[in-house]
Structure 1
């Protein structure tokens, strides 16, 4: 993909549905009683992997034009053993949440994914599930795919998460639905809470007390109609692009603004961004708004601590904003970036260095000296959709053309991303 510098970006856009919510709507609909209808489903490769896995588990899932999906739920014990491997592709969410769900089923399953998933650690999910009574075996001392899950009775536990991870928390919450007694999950920091909100929408019994998440087993979930808001992680690229490209104004419609996900807005605001939200409302327990951004003079900042789980997926594009800002930006406490689709600390630093900016890798993040000239470069995606999309934003403010190798990786979460960027250019 060739990215040319942009003179300005203007327009009103709608972005694809939230990836986290799309995954969960299919999963929870599959174990609910009745037909769950989903509008605004994200048809990226990751979410299609979730649909494929649940079809293999005996669930009828019909897809329609305009991102509409129907899931014909069979109840909490209606899943059937698959004779095929449950192939999760590049999706860490599908892989980790399935581990929790399948641990309490009455049959054996095998999960595997692509080369990237085979390198991503699963041990921190498997360890607490094993404490609940799960039987999961795999490569590298039960840490890597392929994994075999032998479903059996589970019991509740009280477990302190080693990191603030929505995937780990959600896997335990799914297992807790099948446990014989109460489960308490203690978070070090608040992570995204889509699972808690949606499970309760389907009829689960989950409540939070500070950083403690309590879940009681239930006998039944009930089908719902889910309207998926636009994914704030996908909106982030257009937020940053609208802020750093001169003479720009972008309206991003129907964006999910769950407080556990709006760290990107908080950080851009403290950097001096002209960004605000209109038409705020609630859908399916989730807050939604239209986000308006205008070109701004950004300044460096420090990003750390409790903010990190609320913007972990947006850090690559935040680094691009920092490169265009005046002053120094320090990102720390972000070790979790090392176990994403790529080691995003290393890959972000490696790629942005190619533009000529001064950026330094640290053990838990990076230090970015902003306000320098950003040159066009030949970027690598590392098969990581967020690296590819972030480097495209950098290319918009470069002095000359940029090239992105492996740009098709954006299809994991954002089919049509480059076309949408192009239609905004004036």
Structure 2
């Protein structure tokens, strides 16, 4: 799909979709919980759909209603020996350890760029816990055969906190005695906070020592029905935050939780109507970087964004695709190691840009069009479905001219 976005001043009210990070974690916990989970305001992105299909393949029963889904589970009882994660890195890295709790082989696979994303933190650790692991050079497909023997371990969190999230999910429901996961070089700490909080809602207790170790303290299993209401996705909301800054502010964003644990709420600290140049370390919120780069391109002066090294293993090499977009827009930049320096300009160039099949790049390009001197054409714009299927529909509802062309 090709999206042609014209310069516009969006006006109106918007409620972003449900947090896909929370949705996927809720699905995993609902599978491991013995009983019923009600998820209100559930997500419908491609990643959310993948997580729902995974837990059904692993034995959960899912029933949809208009505003909620009901998940009933008695633990892992697979109806298939293969689970498909789509392009979701979180689902892959979370469900590999969960699948390893089971005593028969389960293969975890996916598609697209996910097949090239490293899983080595798990393929190294799980054999230490008695799990048979077969992988494609530490990438998908990965086959695991448990049962996992829960024990104290150490994990490297430099590449992604998703590996730790997967181990915490599995350990929280499987540990019979106090067990500790030691962690070095942990990035994206807010995402781990989100995992711990989700498990808390299922009666699980996890303590951490300044994010260097996480101790699972077993609790009596809950058999009560669990009801979870997902908050709006801060990553999706960030698009409209930046849109307001670029156009003078006409969008009311509703459904946000001011006390959210979502990492991407950090963008609220940076973006402002005066478009002042800024310095911001996005190491813990790397998904904000494409939008922050676009915003920086409209700021007064020179801005610096840290955390670029976190972008290599995303749906695209997002460091490269972000600066490629800036180049198309006519924005001057210097990428030096982990830091991107961006010099703001008066308006962006009309251009044709590629999404690189990356939802974050597609959405950042669309928001950039609001500050351009002509149309911005986005190729492979269907990538937005990974996290925000109705993104262009919502933009159009705010008065943005969106011309979508389907091949």
TM-score (norm 1): 0.86
Higher relative contact order (CA 8 A, sep 6+): 2
Q: Secondary structure at the match of 1:255?
A: coil
Q: Secondary structure at the match of 2:232?
A: coil
- For 1:84 and 1:130, the matched residues in 2 are separated by 19
Q: Which moved more, 1:389-398 or 1:22-31?
A: 22-31
- For 2:383 and 2:81, the matched residues in 1 are separated by 26
Contact 1:100 1:173 (C-alpha < 8 Å) held by counterparts: no
Q: Deviations over 1:9-57 (max 9, x none)?
A: 2222111000011111111111212211111111011110111111111
Q: Secondary structure at the match of 1:53?
A: helix
Match of 2:374 among 391, 396, 400: 400
Q: Which residue of 2 aligns with 1:240?
A: 242
Answer yes or no: is 1:86 the counterpart of 2:89: no
Q: Which residue of 2 aligns with 1:196?
A: 196
Q: Which moved more, 1:215-224 or 1:203-212?
A: 215-224
Contact 2:28 2:169 (C-alpha < 8 Å) held by counterparts: no
Q: Which residue of 2 aligns with 1:31?
A: 32
- For 2:157 and 2:107, the matched residues in 1 are separated by 26
Contact 1:81 1:107 (C-alpha < 8 Å) held by counterparts: no
- For 1:84 and 1:150, the matched residues in 2 are separated by 11
- For 2:89 and 2:19, the matched residues in 1 are separated by 15
Answer yes or no: is 1:410 the counterpart of 2:384: yes
Unaligned runs of 5+ in 2: 401-407
Contact 1:17 1:40 (C-alpha < 8 Å) held by counterparts: yes
RMSD between superposed Cα atoms in Å: 1.9
Q: Secondary structure at the match of 2:118?
A: coil
- For 2:368 and 2:131, the matched residues in 1 are separated by 45
Contact 1:169 1:185 (C-alpha < 8 Å) held by counterparts: no
Q: Secondary structure at the match of 1:2?
A: strand
Match of 1:263 among 262, 266, 269: 266
How much does 1:423 deviate? 1.8
- For 2:148 and 2:129, the matched residues in 1 are separated by 9
Contact 2:234 2:262 (C-alpha < 8 Å) held by counterparts: no
Contact 1:22 1:41 (C-alpha < 8 Å) held by counterparts: yes
Q: Which residue of 1 aligns with 2:205?
A: 205
Match of 1:126 among 115, 119, 123: 123
Q: Which residue of 2 aligns with 1:281?
A: none
TM-score (norm 2): 0.90
Q: Number of matched residues?
A: 389
Contact 2:121 2:155 (C-alpha < 8 Å) held by counterparts: no
Q: Which residue of 2 aligns with 1:167?
A: 162
Q: Which residue of 2 aligns with 1:147?
A: 142
Contact 2:6 2:376 (C-alpha < 8 Å) held by counterparts: yes
Unaligned runs of 5+ in 1: 274-295
How much does 1:158 deviate? 4.2
Answer yes or no: is 1:308 the counterpart of 2:283: yes
Q: Which moved more, 1:125-134 or 1:86-95?
A: 125-134
- CA pair 153-423 structure 1, distance change in 2 beyond 3 A: closer
- For 2:384 and 2:236, the matched residues in 1 are separated by 10
- CA pair 94-410 structure 1, distance change in 2 beyond 3 A: same
Match of 2:305 among 316, 319, 331: 331
